[in-house]
Structure 1
Amino acid sequence: MLVEFKISNYRSFKNEQVFSMQTGKRLTKYQKSNTIIMGKEKLLKSSLLFGANANGKTNLLTALLMLKNLIIHPTTDEIQKLHTDSFGYNKRNTTFEITFIKNKNEYNYALEYNSKEIVKEVLTLNKKIVFSRNRQKVEHIPNQLVQLTANVRKNQLLLYFAQQNNEKYSKEAYSWFVEDLVFVNTDRIQNIKFKSLKNERFKKRFLHFLQAADFNINDVEVKERVENVPNPKFILKKINADDDDSGEIDELIPSTFYDIYCTHKSEEGSFSVYFNNESTGTKVFMFLALYILSNSKKTLLIDEFDRSYHLELAQALLVLINSATQTNQFVLTTHELSLMDCNLRQDQIWFAEKNRFGESELFSLFDFDDPALKRSDFNYKKRYLEGRYGATQIVNKKLLLEALEENE
């Protein structure tokens, strides 16, 4: 479970910004449903990030994804550059610091780097250092790795190196990034995810979930087909035709694909619809349902959570996400302001706002000092639209019309 995330010099986040899933002090509302206890920490089951277009909401999720990719996709040689995406493409270091809980252990991982090298890297377990480095100087390291530190390249993460060499706590921390931090990409729905519906017990739960949401679907069929596709190794061999490689490589290799069909009811009986021909809202909802039903104690990141389906359905999903029986954690971005008033705590409502220099800032409703802004007996959406929280879209309608008239 995610506890806290700090970012600086990444995309629109120039100065350090802190995003927290910790509960606000002395808040008691919805603590039995909207929160979850992990070890000594009481954490939020969900946070919703609101804000105008291009203010940095999505950048929070992509920063988490960037850190994950840096960790699980290592550089292969000293020449390869580390991927960066700094504010205004400046040459300064980017920093990430993340705190999370895995198997009741609380980890903190801090990384400072640029395209050429790791500048600082520290992993702590329950506030005790597992390893730390300052550029190529390794300051703390488990005994089993002492003789191997000279093999760590300047552009190689020590976390990946340590887990690769079977260091216990590095393996556990690494596994959190691989298994527990999940980006749900609704722009690229992967049919292979529906393979889990071959389990009849899970399929029954899935169909019940769809029917409860008033989708006219009473069955979902997953069909496997095998096709021969170009072999990437063969393509590379053709590109590098001058290489002395006498080994035979097949031009085509078999690959398995999954076709999804949804059965709908009608007055004349039932009919089947190919999944790709379903509405965008139906496809997105079904995809989200797979993640919600098949995961436990994961941190799921969803951009534009409310996209493509009715407000009432988004509200119902949010109630489910925050329910007492649901054990996953969600970080959601949304433009649907009505969700602010869907039984959320003050600490679950976050805003992203850009200042006049194009720098994104993150803050929660709980951060405001004025009690009148935090009272839940008067809806949050109305106060947001009045501009009392900031992070609103300021549109100059007059200038828009003038620009239109210039084409006449």
Structure 2
Amino acid sequence: MLIQFNFENYKSYLDEVSLDLTATSYTELKDNLIEGKKKEMYMKVVSIYGANASGKSNILEAFEHMKRLVIKSLEESNKSNKMYLKRFQFSEVGKKTPALFEVFFMHKGKEYQYGFNLNEKKILSEWLYKRNFRFKKKYELVFEREGQKYNLNKDLQKANDIIEIMNEKTLLITLLSSFEVEDIKNVFDWFVETEVINFGNVTFEYIISKSLPKVDFDNEKESNRFTEFLENIDIGIKGIRKEKTSLNGHTDNGAFEKYRIYTKHLNMDTGKLEEIPLSEESSGTIKMIGLYRFILDALQKGKTLLVDEMDAKLHPLLTRYIINLFQNSDSNPKGAQLIFTTHDTNTLSNELFRRDQIWFVEKDKRGVSELFSLAEYKIDDKKVRKDASYNKDYLGGRYGAIPNIDMKVGE
């Protein structure tokens, strides 16, 4: 479970920003929350709105960048003299200031604070702390790093010899991931398991659209669950038929598929069911099928899923369907989380979201992106009411974070 993500000086973000999934004291829609170990409440779903090029996608890209470094910094440090990093380029401060990435999260009943500072040449500092639940808000040292100097807890002392020869472009968490130390393994595994998918990436969308979802069609329960999902997202689908392929059953991207899937539709004249290949369904249905394995995996394992441009090619009711899968305790008993960027104001509703679940991004006059939640936004020094028309007020410009359109263009 993600509790908070902080970052600074990455792409359009110069100043430190924080995406905080800790719930406020607001009383509305309590079913939208997950209860933590010490009765703290956290959000199941967070939606991020903003104009094109405002920096919405950069939030998810910042997390993905952090994840890639955690998993691959050792591998990448041997390939190049410089570390891949995109700091804010439109000021001298941005070019000279280190970038920061930090997360607070819970995994397997343990709560951690992990982060690092870096520039293109090296890791400047790195830290990992674990919460001690016997106290209200106390975090205990797992390790700290300043340059190439380290402070380790007793469980990591055995790693001293290998740390001494570690290069300055490698994260300590990456190096230690092969050690059988519970806290290190928990942190590393959480990053591996937390998915970031980007439907603004044409290549990614093409690849998943050409692949069947990872469903064990030999397992009747899994096969039936997938059929039910298809029927829920597309009222025209009345079932599926599975056909085993030959050894030559390869897809366009070269992957071998054990089955071909055909969807069944009702012939309005004969009343009989007609079949078409799954690949011939609408782009919206194909996208939902691509999302299926990510959604199911998150719900079954209580994972965090981040989706950029989730509403692209989806009807608003399909977007709402996905949100409800995460917010409903029956379909989400393990407290999975969904964080997504969107332009779909149909979901910007007080019937669907609490004020602390709604976040906005906008750029200031310097071209710097700012992130803020509706819960902290004030109009005439007054907070937004829970019965406000969020989508109408947003489109009317009351919350900012909308395109600045010159209506005189073309006159």
* The two structures share one fold, judged by TM-score above 0.5: yes
**Aligned residue type for 1:36:** I
CA shift in 2, pair 1:196/1:7, >3 Å? farther
User: C-alpha displacement at 1:222, in angstroms?
Assistant: 7.0
User: C-alpha displacement at 1:259, in angstroms?
Assistant: 6.3
**Aligned residue type for 2:226:** F
**Aligned residue type for 2:361:** A
User: C-alpha displacement at 1:85, in angstroms?
Assistant: 1.2
Q: Which residue of 2 aligns with 1:306?
A: 311
Aligned pairs for 1:187-206 within 5 A: 187-190=205-208, 191=211, 193-206=213-226
Q: Which residue of 1 aligns with 2:32?
A: 34
Pick from 242, 257, 261: which aligns with 1:221?
A: 242
Question: Following the alignment from structure 1 to structure 2, what is the Cα–Cα distance between the partners of residues 214 and 192?
Answer: 17
Q: What secondary structure does 2:400 align onto?
A: coil
Q: Which residue of 1 aligns with 2:98?
A: 93
Q: Which residue of 1 aligns with 2:85?
A: 84
**Aligned residue type for 2:49:** F
CA shift in 2, pair 1:174/1:312, >3 Å? same
* Contact preservation (8 Å) 1:195, 1:258: no
CA shift in 2, pair 1:274/1:106, >3 Å? same
CA shift in 2, pair 1:222/1:23, >3 Å? farther
Q: Which residue of 2 aligns with 1:123?
A: 128
Identity fraction in percent: 30
User: C-alpha displacement at 1:49, in angstroms?
Assistant: 0.3
Instruction: Point out the structure with max Rg over C-alpha.
Output: 1
* Contact preservation (8 Å) 1:373, 1:383: no
Q: Which residue of 2 aligns with 1:346?
A: 355
CA shift in 2, pair 1:45/1:225, >3 Å? farther
Verify: 1:380 aligned to 2:390, yes or no: yes
* Contact preservation (8 Å) 2:117, 2:125: yes
Q: What secondary structure does 1:289 align onto?
A: helix
* Contact preservation (8 Å) 1:305, 1:333: yes
Q: Which residue of 1 aligns with 2:167?
A: 153
Q: What secondary structure does 1:122 align onto?
A: strand
* Contact preservation (8 Å) 2:263, 2:278: no
Question: Following the alignment from structure 2 to structure 1, what is the Cα–Cα distance between the partners of residues 292 and 15?
Answer: 36
User: C-alpha displacement at 1:376, in angstroms?
Assistant: 2.5
How big is each residue's C-alpha offset from its partner over 1:246-268, in whole Å with a ceiling of 9 and x where there is no partner? xxxxxxxx963466533222325
User: C-alpha displacement at 1:328, in angstroms?
Assistant: 1.2
Q: Which residue of 2 aligns with 1:241?
A: none
Verify: 1:397 aligned to 2:407, yes or no: yes
User: C-alpha displacement at 1:227, in angstroms?
Assistant: 6.1
Q: Which residue of 1 aligns with 2:227?
A: 207
Once the two structures are overlaid, the 10-residue window that deviates more, 294-303 or 346-355, is 294-303
CA shift in 2, pair 1:228/1:45, >3 Å? closer
Q: Which residue of 1 aligns with 2:134?
A: none
Verify: 1:285 aligned to 2:285, yes or no: no
CA shift in 2, pair 1:93/1:28, >3 Å? same
CA shift in 2, pair 1:192/1:125, >3 Å? farther
TM-score (norm 2): 0.84
Verify: 1:357 aligned to 2:366, yes or no: yes
Unmatched tracts of structure 2, length 5 or more? 132-138, 200-204
* Contact preservation (8 Å) 2:3, 2:104: yes
Question: Following the alignment from structure 1 to structure 2, what is the Cα–Cα distance between the partners of residues 48 and 69?
Answer: 23
**Aligned residue type for 2:141:** I
Q: What secondary structure does 1:184 align onto?
A: strand
* Contact preservation (8 Å) 2:44, 2:337: yes
**Aligned residue type for 1:144:** K
Question: Following the alignment from structure 1 to structure 2, what is the Cα–Cα distance between the partners of residues 79 and 304?
Answer: 32
* Contact preservation (8 Å) 2:126, 2:145: yes
Question: Following the alignment from structure 1 to structure 2, what is the Cα–Cα distance between the partners of residues 91 and 222?
Answer: 59
Q: Which residue of 2 aligns with 1:7?
A: 7
Question: Following the alignment from structure 1 to structure 2, what is the Cα–Cα distance between the partners of residues 85 and 347?
Answer: 29
Q: What secondary structure does 1:95 align onto?
A: strand
Q: What secondary structure does 1:366 align onto?
A: coil
Pick from 337, 344, 355: which aligns with 2:345?
A: 337
CA shift in 2, pair 1:396/1:198, >3 Å? farther
Aligned pairs for 1:24-63 within 5 A: 24=24, 26-31=25-30, 33-40=31-38, 41-63=40-62
Q: What secondary structure does 1:55 align onto?
A: coil
